[in-house]
Amino acid sequence: MQFDLVTAIAQAVNFLVLMVVLKKLLYKPMLNAIEKRKDDLKQKADEASVRLAEVDLLKEEYELKLQNIEKEKQKLLAEVVDEVAKEKEKLHLEVLRENEEARTKLAMEIAESKDKVINESVKVIASSFHAFASNVLSTIANTNLEKGVADSFSKQILNLSNESISKIKVACMQNKQLVIQSSFAFSEDSTKLITSAIHDVIPESKEIEFKVDEKLIIGAVLIIGSLIISWSAKEALDDFKLQLINILR
């Protein structure tokens, strides 16, 4: 087979022409399409990266919000627990206060009732004692009661404590009136007996005034200034009253 140069050249020229035509009509548009596609893909990839970044940012913001919400929830829960504890403590103190007030009120009512009963009892006993003393006084009216009271009162004056004597002397130096009160009027002899006993113990004493006080029931009282020395049924009654109150309480 002989090599045909003309044919070969023609084929080469045809090939070149075909390549030029293909490059112009096919390759270049195809390359342009590929490049455009590449640019589109790159743009979409960039947009996707941006969107991913935005998604990550939103995710971080969401997680941060969740953390803040959790913190706020814990804070609110702690406040609620604290408020409940305070309210519970307040109610507890209120109940204690009300109980204490009720107990105090009850104790006061009991004390008032007790005092009332004691006072009523003392009044009854005092009245009975007074009636008894009056009856005794009426019964022994014919005996030498006045002389017995004078003798007993004189002995009490002679047996005064040094402290009482000193107080009486001071009062006498201040020119205070010395008064003897009795449940009935003393006779002249009884008056002299008592006066003598006072002068023996208290030479500084001057004029002595004798008075009658029927409230004494039986007995006599020496009064000078604020000092009172008593020997009477009323004194015994008062002592008995105090003892009775102490026993009942």
Residue ranges of the domains in the chain? 144-248
- The contacts of residue 176 (CB under 8 Å, 6+ apart) are 224, 225
pLDDT value at residue 143: 45
**pLDDT computed for residue 1 by the predictor:** 47
pLDDT value of residue 141? 45
CA proximity to 216, closest of 236, 239, 232: 232
Low-confidence residues in the chain, pLDDT < 50: 1, 138-143
Q: How far apart are CA 177 and CA 163, in angstroms?
A: 19
Q: What is the DSSP letter of 180?
A: E
* Nearest-angstrom CA–CA distance, 176 and 33: 143
Cβ proximity of 210 and 186 under 8 Å: yes
Name the architecture of domain 144-248.
2-Layer Sandwich (3.30)
Please tell me what DSSP assigns to residue 23: I
pTM, 2 dp:
0.41
Q: What is the DSSP letter of 161?
A: -
Q: Where are the alpha helices (DSSP H) in 185-232?
A: 188-201
Alpha carbons 176 and 179: distance in angstroms, whole number: 9
Instruction: Identify the pLDDT of residue 142.
Output: 41
